[in-house]
């Protein structure tokens, strides 16, 4: 039996810079605990973004946008859960509880009172947007057709090639 040498881990100053380089951001965490805390203690401005709903196919084609933060007076269709295929207008956006209230989606209590049921925005599709000037600006910014995948347009490439040849 021969003696085998187990080399210790190399000291930091001996490792190459490529080995040391690693993506690391103190602000980003994969911890379930930290993400749940951030979610449930999020301010209203962040909750607005979290409470986004997908747009219907027609709206998606029209605006080239996949989803939008939900707003009062949007018309939606519930497509998951007990109230599947129910249509209605958003009456209230309850950011504290992460739910929305839709007209005609309610139940009766034992005492006869009618109560609005909270529906998660992830379970609805926006069928008609309530467009105000701010929302139109947001749609313009989010429009995927305006964003180009390449750094230069074909026209710019042709122009630069023509100037190089001259």
Distance in angstroms (rounded) separating the CA atoms of residues 54 and 122: 8
Phi-psi region of 90 (alpha: psi -120 to 50; beta: other; left: phi over 0): beta
User: What domains appear along the chain, each with residue ranges and CATH number?
Assistant: 51-146 (2.30.30.30)
Using CA atoms, how far residue 46 sits from 39, 112, 117, 130, 165, in Å, is 9, 37, 23, 21, 52
Can you give the pTM of this predicted structure? 0.71
Tell me: the pLDDT tens digits for 16-30?
A: 555 556 678 888 899
Non-local (6+) Cβ contacts of 164 within 8 A are none
User: What letter does residue 22 receive in the DSSP assignment?
Assistant: -
Tens-level pLDDT at each residue, the chain (166 residues): 555 555 566 666 566 555 556 678 888 899 999 999 999 999 999 999 999 999 999 999 999 999 999 999 999 999 999 999 999 999 999 999 999 999 999 999 999 999 999 999 999 999 999 999 999 999 988 887 676 666 667 777 788 777 777 6
């Amino acid at each position: 039996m021969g003696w085998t040498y187990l080399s210790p881990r190399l000291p930091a100053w001996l490792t190459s810079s490529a080995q040391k380089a690693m993506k690391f951001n103190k602000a980003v965490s994969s911890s379930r605990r930290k993400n749940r805390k951030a979610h449930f203690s999020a301010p209203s401005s962040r909750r607005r973004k979290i409470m986004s709903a997908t747009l219907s196919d027609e709206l998606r084609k029209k605006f080239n946008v996949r989803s939008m933060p939900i707003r009062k007076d949007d018309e939606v269709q519930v497509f998951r859960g007990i109230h599947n295929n129910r249509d209605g207008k958003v009456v209230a956006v309850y950011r504290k509880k992460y739910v929305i209230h839709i007209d005609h989606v309610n139940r009766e209590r034992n005492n006869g009172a009618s109560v609005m049921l909270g529906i998660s925005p992830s379970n609805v599709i926006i069928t008609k947007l309530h467009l105000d000037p701010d929302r139109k600006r947001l749609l313009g910014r989010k429009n995927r057709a305006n964003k180009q995948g390449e750094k230069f347009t074909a026209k710019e490439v042709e122009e630069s090639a023509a100037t190089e040849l001259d």
